[in-house]
Amino acid sequence: MISLPVTRRLVVIQRVLVRHGLDDYVRATHLYRPLRFLFYLSPWTWFARSQGTTRGERLRLALEELGPIFIKFGQALSTRRDLLPRDIADELAKLQDRVPPFSGAAARAQVERALGKPVTELFGSFDEAPLAAASIAQVHAATLADGREVVVKVLRPGMREAIGRDLEVLHALAGLAARYWPESKRLRPAEVVAEYEKTVLDELDLMREAGNASQLRRNFAGSPMLHVPEVHWDLCRRDVMVIERIRGVPISEIGRLRELGTDIRKLAENGVTIFFTQVFRHNFFHADMHPGNIFVDVSDPANPKYVAVDFGIVGALEPRDQYYLAANFLAFFDRDWRRIAELHLESGWIPPHARLSELTAAVRTVCEPIFNKPLGEISFGMVLLRLFEVARRFEMPVQPQLILLQKTLLNIEGLGRQLYPELDLMKTARPVLREWMSRRVGPEAFAEGLREHWPDLAESLKMLPVVLQRAVRRAYEDDFRLRTESSSVDALRRELAEAQRRRNALLAGAALFLGGVLWLALLAQPEWLGWALAAGGGSWMLSCLR
């Protein structure tokens, strides 16, 4: 049952869409079916219309009026110029940094309330006119007492209440989908909304965003490709964040970047490298990389450097999903369709009753025609869309933990293609993925894991002699009790001798294994000797236990 507040919000959404001449969307939205009578009875359907504007402008104005969740939806869409008409993409791009601001006086009051002091005591200067306004917050230029330039990010007043209301609407729509939409079992709308709720609520906590910025700054310390501004922690609170002010050209101003002599190809390729580095090497990625959040430092046009802002949304993957995702990408690059099918089954993304041969054929049907295009025209977005079509046939449920990554990948691809239409994502991404895979499954990865878990392993190894002694004694006593019931004294002696021999061999194997482990842990040279001792000792112990 839909609550009264949710019903009111649905009516508001319907009214806004109709008022801006977007009633076709209302009629096409099947989730509104239980409330469709409201559309036909509403006076806005027949009288209240927005006149004299383009369809793209009407859509942008409607999203702005509906609030932050809808604005973010438009921001994500704006980067997909390969999927949208140009007029709509141009209008939605204005949502990146041209959201109407709230008053500077309200921002000042919010800062003073959060930090507990007058702005004149906190800063050398504070500009009430905002530098930029976004859907969740806006930023103001300021200087510290020592003259350093900073920006002050201030959460929009009433934002938590507005977000909470729209999240309730999304949950209600997910419930309607589960009830009326046959595809809901596979697409799992309730879980998708729950995952999005976590993301957007995290974005409302500016202390969390400050932590994200600091982590990303550490990850790319000294990098020639990405600069992350410094956080001033003593001036950060849940509703206010103060960070270093950056200078750069907005990534959307491609014409200006060309005028300044920027190496556009290198810039586009670096963007892809940064994304895959964040996802696989660091497992911590900026997940809101739309053009309004990215600037370019062109002090050295031949080596342009990205400057990122707005760290409210970040993502990370479980190691298992990381591995399967990287392996899927590499198999796609190598046109190994059977490997993609195997990975989908191994990961659990496809139900186990699916036949490997049928899944392989389906993947081949989707992916093979894509490689007939020039490499620069291959769209990961189109690959994902086509694979989703295949997934429906094999009952693949939506993976909520991958949605944020998919959205970020689509943003990166859209941005890269805007900069450099001939961008070859495979050429750029393949070296990063291959290096990550070799480090994950090779000897270095094993040694790193051994060093990481060495304290726990050392404690366990201390107990190994006691455990082995008890095991041998138990085996000896069992053998003794068994053989004393036998009338053959010679057989008993042979068994005792064999038990003694096995015990000595087991202890010798354990000593070799422990010596090899210590050799590797201490990084002694040559390294191969440690591996040989550990492998030989382990094999010896296994042979004794058979």
Residue with tokens 């659990």: 348
CA dihedral (483, 486, 490, 495) in degrees, to 10, reads: -20
Look at residue 15 and give its three-state secondary structure: helix
| DSSP code at position 278 | I
d(CA 6, CA 27): 19
SS3 category, 349 = coil
Phi/psi region, residue 295 (left: phi>0; alpha: psi -120 to 50; beta: rest), is beta
Q: Look at the alpha carbons of 79, 83, 87, 92 in this order and tell me if their dihedral is positive or negative.
A: negative
- Of 248, 224, 229, the closest CA to residue 298 belongs to 248
Q: What is the DSSP letter of 236?
A: -
Three-state SS for 161?
helix
* Angle, alpha carbons 429-430-431 (nearest 5°): 100
Structure tokens at 475: 């085996």
Q: Report the distance separating Cα 186 and Cα 351, nearest Å.
A: 11
At 151, which helix (H) or strand (E)? strand 149-155
Return the half-sphere exposure (C-beta side, CA atoms, 13 A cut-off) of residue 326: 27
**Paired tokens of 343:** 């990975």
For tokens 């359907």, name the residue: 45
- Say how far apart CA 275 and CA 423 lie, in whole Å: 14
Q: Which residues pair with 240 in a beta bridge?
A: 154
Catalytic residue from among 23, 166, 239, 288: 288
Residue ranges of E strands in 350-476 = none
User: Angle 4-19/55-66 helices, nearest 10 degrees?
Assistant: 160
- Name, in order, each residue with C-beta under 8 angstroms of 419's C-beta and a sequence gap of 6 or more: 251, 254, 264, 267, 268, 271
Q: At what angle do helices 425-441 and 443-452 cross, to 10 degrees?
A: 60
Task: Report the 10 Å Cβ neighbour count for 99.
Answer: 22
Residue reference for tokens 């997940």: 287
Strand partners, 250: 295
Are the C-beta atoms of residues 99 and 58 closer than 8 Å to each other?
no
* Strands laid side by side in the 249-250 sheet: 226-227, 305-308, 294-297, 249-250
**166 is known as an active-site residue:** no
Q: Cβ distance 534 to 520 under 8 Å?
A: yes
CA separation for the pair 366, 383 (Å, rounded): 8
Q: Catalytic amino acids? A: 288
